[in-house]
Amino acid sequence: MTDFIYKPLEHEYWVDGIRWPSVTEFLKPLNDFSKINPAVLKKKADFGKKIHRIVELEALGVLDESSLSDFQRIYLGHVRRWCDKSDIDIHNAIAEFPQYHSPLKFAGTPDLIFPNPLLVEVKTRPFKSVIDGLQLAGQEILCRENFGIAGKYEQRVLSLSEAGYKYPLVATPAEQKENINRFIWLTKKWWAEGGEYSPETIAQMRTWKA
Protein backbone atom coordinates (compact mmCIF):
# COMPACT_ATOMS: atom_id res chain seq x y z
CA MET A 1 0.00 0.00 0.00
CA THR A 2 1.34 3.43 -0.96
CA ASP A 3 2.18 5.80 1.88
CA PHE A 4 0.93 9.23 0.79
CA ILE A 5 1.45 12.27 3.05
CA TYR A 6 0.49 15.86 2.32
CA LYS A 7 2.14 18.55 4.47
CA PRO A 8 -0.06 21.65 4.05
CA LEU A 9 2.21 24.13 5.86
CA GLU A 10 5.13 23.27 3.59
CA HIS A 11 2.83 22.50 0.65
CA GLU A 12 4.75 19.27 0.14
CA TYR A 13 3.63 15.87 -1.06
CA TRP A 14 5.45 12.72 0.03
CA VAL A 15 4.98 9.28 -1.51
CA ASP A 16 6.72 6.34 0.15
CA GLY A 17 9.21 8.68 1.77
CA ILE A 18 10.06 10.61 -1.42
CA ARG A 19 8.95 14.19 -2.02
CA TRP A 20 7.03 14.44 -5.26
CA PRO A 21 6.64 17.74 -7.14
CA SER A 22 3.33 19.56 -7.16
CA VAL A 23 1.38 20.82 -10.17
CA THR A 24 2.36 24.43 -9.41
CA GLU A 25 6.01 23.50 -8.86
CA PHE A 26 6.30 22.40 -12.49
CA LEU A 27 5.11 25.84 -13.60
CA LYS A 28 7.45 28.05 -11.58
CA PRO A 29 9.64 29.03 -14.57
CA LEU A 30 6.56 30.64 -16.14
CA ASN A 31 6.13 33.01 -13.19
CA ASP A 32 8.33 36.08 -12.83
CA PHE A 33 7.97 37.83 -9.47
CA SER A 34 11.41 39.49 -9.60
CA LYS A 35 9.96 43.01 -9.86
CA ILE A 36 7.55 42.59 -6.94
CA ASN A 37 8.60 43.54 -3.41
CA PRO A 38 8.89 40.28 -1.38
CA ALA A 39 6.78 41.75 1.44
CA VAL A 40 4.01 42.66 -1.02
CA LEU A 41 4.25 39.22 -2.63
CA LYS A 42 3.92 37.49 0.74
CA LYS A 43 0.93 39.64 1.68
CA LYS A 44 -0.82 38.74 -1.57
CA ALA A 45 -0.02 35.05 -1.13
CA ASP A 46 -1.31 35.02 2.45
CA PHE A 47 -4.52 36.72 1.38
CA GLY A 48 -4.97 34.22 -1.43
CA LYS A 49 -4.61 31.34 1.03
CA LYS A 50 -7.25 32.88 3.32
CA ILE A 51 -9.72 33.21 0.46
CA HIS A 52 -9.06 29.63 -0.61
CA ARG A 53 -9.79 28.50 2.93
CA ILE A 54 -13.03 30.49 2.99
CA VAL A 55 -14.13 28.86 -0.29
CA GLU A 56 -13.21 25.43 1.04
CA LEU A 57 -15.22 25.91 4.26
CA GLU A 58 -18.14 27.30 2.26
CA ALA A 59 -18.10 24.17 0.09
CA LEU A 60 -18.02 21.96 3.18
CA GLY A 61 -20.91 23.89 4.71
CA VAL A 62 -19.03 24.74 7.89
CA LEU A 63 -18.01 28.37 7.29
CA ASP A 64 -18.37 30.60 10.36
CA GLU A 65 -19.16 33.97 8.80
CA SER A 66 -18.73 35.75 12.11
CA SER A 67 -15.00 35.00 11.92
CA LEU A 68 -14.58 36.94 8.65
CA SER A 69 -13.45 40.52 8.24
CA ASP A 70 -15.62 42.94 6.29
CA PHE A 71 -13.16 42.73 3.41
CA GLN A 72 -13.30 38.92 3.37
CA ARG A 73 -17.11 39.05 3.37
CA ILE A 74 -16.95 40.99 0.11
CA TYR A 75 -15.15 38.06 -1.49
CA LEU A 76 -17.57 35.57 0.03
CA GLY A 77 -20.41 37.58 -1.49
CA HIS A 78 -18.78 37.30 -4.92
CA VAL A 79 -18.44 33.52 -4.49
CA ARG A 80 -22.13 33.21 -3.63
CA ARG A 81 -23.16 35.40 -6.57
CA TRP A 82 -21.02 33.21 -8.83
CA CYS A 83 -22.87 30.16 -7.56
CA ASP A 84 -26.26 31.77 -8.12
CA LYS A 85 -25.54 33.12 -11.59
CA SER A 86 -23.75 29.96 -12.77
CA ASP A 87 -26.36 27.62 -11.27
CA ILE A 88 -23.68 25.90 -9.19
CA ASP A 89 -24.22 24.16 -5.87
CA ILE A 90 -20.83 24.54 -4.23
CA HIS A 91 -21.77 21.88 -1.67
CA ASN A 92 -21.54 19.30 -4.49
CA ALA A 93 -17.85 20.05 -4.89
CA ILE A 94 -14.93 18.04 -3.59
CA ALA A 95 -12.85 20.86 -2.12
CA GLU A 96 -9.07 20.96 -1.63
CA PHE A 97 -8.52 17.21 -1.92
CA PRO A 98 -4.79 16.27 -2.08
CA GLN A 99 -3.99 13.46 -4.50
CA TYR A 100 -1.13 11.97 -6.47
CA HIS A 101 -0.50 10.41 -9.88
CA SER A 102 1.65 7.29 -9.74
CA PRO A 103 2.61 6.89 -13.44
CA LEU A 104 3.82 10.51 -13.79
CA LYS A 105 5.02 10.92 -10.18
CA PHE A 106 3.44 14.22 -9.20
CA ALA A 107 0.75 15.47 -6.83
CA GLY A 108 -1.62 18.35 -6.32
CA THR A 109 -4.73 19.71 -4.65
CA PRO A 110 -7.47 20.89 -7.03
CA ASP A 111 -9.55 23.70 -5.53
CA LEU A 112 -13.02 22.50 -6.54
CA ILE A 113 -13.99 19.28 -8.32
CA PHE A 114 -17.60 18.93 -9.49
CA PRO A 115 -19.14 15.70 -10.85
CA ASN A 116 -20.21 17.29 -14.20
CA PRO A 117 -17.16 16.93 -14.60
CA LEU A 118 -16.03 20.49 -13.89
CA LEU A 119 -12.75 21.75 -12.43
CA VAL A 120 -12.59 25.24 -10.91
CA GLU A 121 -9.40 26.93 -9.74
CA VAL A 122 -9.90 29.92 -7.43
CA LYS A 123 -7.62 32.91 -7.98
CA THR A 124 -7.28 36.31 -6.33
CA ARG A 125 -5.59 37.68 -9.43
CA PRO A 126 -6.57 38.06 -13.11
CA PHE A 127 -6.80 34.99 -15.33
CA LYS A 128 -3.54 33.90 -17.03
CA SER A 129 -4.29 31.68 -20.00
CA VAL A 130 -0.99 29.79 -20.29
CA ILE A 131 -0.24 29.18 -16.60
CA ASP A 132 -3.85 28.54 -15.60
CA GLY A 133 -4.39 26.29 -18.60
CA LEU A 134 -1.38 24.16 -17.68
CA GLN A 135 -2.37 24.07 -14.02
CA LEU A 136 -5.85 22.85 -14.83
CA ALA A 137 -4.41 20.32 -17.27
CA GLY A 138 -2.39 18.88 -14.38
CA GLN A 139 -5.47 18.86 -12.16
CA GLU A 140 -7.47 17.05 -14.82
CA ILE A 141 -4.77 14.40 -15.17
CA LEU A 142 -4.92 13.88 -11.39
CA CYS A 143 -8.71 13.62 -11.33
CA ARG A 144 -8.85 11.17 -14.20
CA GLU A 145 -6.37 8.95 -12.34
CA ASN A 146 -8.00 9.14 -8.92
CA PHE A 147 -11.72 9.57 -9.58
CA GLY A 148 -12.11 8.00 -12.99
CA ILE A 149 -14.73 10.58 -13.93
CA ALA A 150 -15.62 9.90 -17.54
CA GLY A 151 -16.45 12.55 -20.12
CA LYS A 152 -15.08 15.88 -21.21
CA TYR A 153 -13.85 18.05 -18.37
CA GLU A 154 -14.86 21.69 -18.30
CA GLN A 155 -12.02 23.82 -16.92
CA ARG A 156 -12.73 27.20 -15.36
CA VAL A 157 -10.99 29.84 -13.27
CA LEU A 158 -12.94 31.80 -10.67
CA SER A 159 -10.98 35.05 -10.60
CA LEU A 160 -11.96 37.10 -7.54
CA SER A 161 -11.25 40.74 -6.78
CA GLU A 162 -12.71 43.39 -4.53
CA ALA A 163 -14.75 44.66 -7.49
CA GLY A 164 -16.34 41.33 -8.39
CA TYR A 165 -15.49 38.10 -10.16
CA LYS A 166 -14.78 36.69 -13.60
CA TYR A 167 -15.37 33.09 -14.61
CA PRO A 168 -13.55 32.41 -17.90
CA LEU A 169 -13.40 29.15 -19.75
CA VAL A 170 -9.73 28.24 -19.60
CA ALA A 171 -9.21 26.66 -23.01
CA THR A 172 -10.85 25.39 -26.17
CA PRO A 173 -10.95 21.58 -26.59
CA ALA A 174 -7.90 21.76 -28.87
CA GLU A 175 -6.01 23.95 -26.38
CA GLN A 176 -7.02 21.65 -23.53
CA LYS A 177 -5.51 18.68 -25.35
CA GLU A 178 -2.33 20.64 -26.07
CA ASN A 179 -2.06 21.72 -22.42
CA ILE A 180 -2.38 18.14 -21.23
CA ASN A 181 0.35 17.01 -23.64
CA ARG A 182 2.58 19.87 -22.51
CA PHE A 183 2.02 19.08 -18.84
CA ILE A 184 2.91 15.42 -19.35
CA TRP A 185 6.08 16.56 -21.14
CA LEU A 186 6.92 18.77 -18.12
CA THR A 187 6.58 15.89 -15.66
CA LYS A 188 8.89 13.70 -17.71
CA LYS A 189 11.45 16.48 -18.12
CA TRP A 190 11.39 17.19 -14.37
CA TRP A 191 12.40 13.67 -13.42
CA ALA A 192 14.79 13.19 -16.36
CA GLU A 193 16.63 16.41 -15.47
CA GLY A 194 16.97 15.61 -11.77
CA GLY A 195 14.22 17.82 -10.36
CA GLU A 196 15.52 21.07 -11.84
CA TYR A 197 14.72 22.07 -15.39
CA SER A 198 17.60 22.65 -17.78
CA PRO A 199 18.00 26.09 -19.41
CA GLU A 200 16.84 24.50 -22.68
CA THR A 201 13.62 23.22 -21.10
CA ILE A 202 12.91 26.59 -19.48
CA ALA A 203 13.51 28.36 -22.79
CA GLN A 204 11.04 26.00 -24.46
CA MET A 205 8.45 26.65 -21.73
CA ARG A 206 8.75 30.39 -22.15
CA THR A 207 7.92 30.19 -25.84
CA TRP A 208 4.45 29.05 -24.75
CA LYS A 209 3.79 32.50 -23.30
CA ALA A 210 4.03 34.13 -26.70
* Per-residue pLDDT band at 148 (split at 50, 70, 90): confident
Gyration radius (Cα) of the chain, Å: 17
- Tell me how far apart the alpha carbons of residues 2 and 17 are, in angstroms, rounded to a whole number: 10
Domain encompassing residue 151:
26-207
Domain count of the chain? 1
d(CA 27, CA 79): 26
Is residue 136 in a domain?
yes
**Mean pLDDT (the chain, rounded):** 94
CATH (domain of 47):
3.90.320
Residue closest to 94 by CA, chosen among 149, 15, 51, 24: 149
pTM for this model (two decimals): 0.94
Residue 17 lies in a domain: no
Q: What is the pLDDT of residues 82-132, one digit of tens each?
A: 999 999 999 999 999 999 999 999 999 999 999 989 999 999 999 999 999
| Domain membership flag for residue 186 | yes
Q: Does a structural domain hold residue 18?
A: no
Question: Does residue 63 lie in a domain region?
Answer: yes
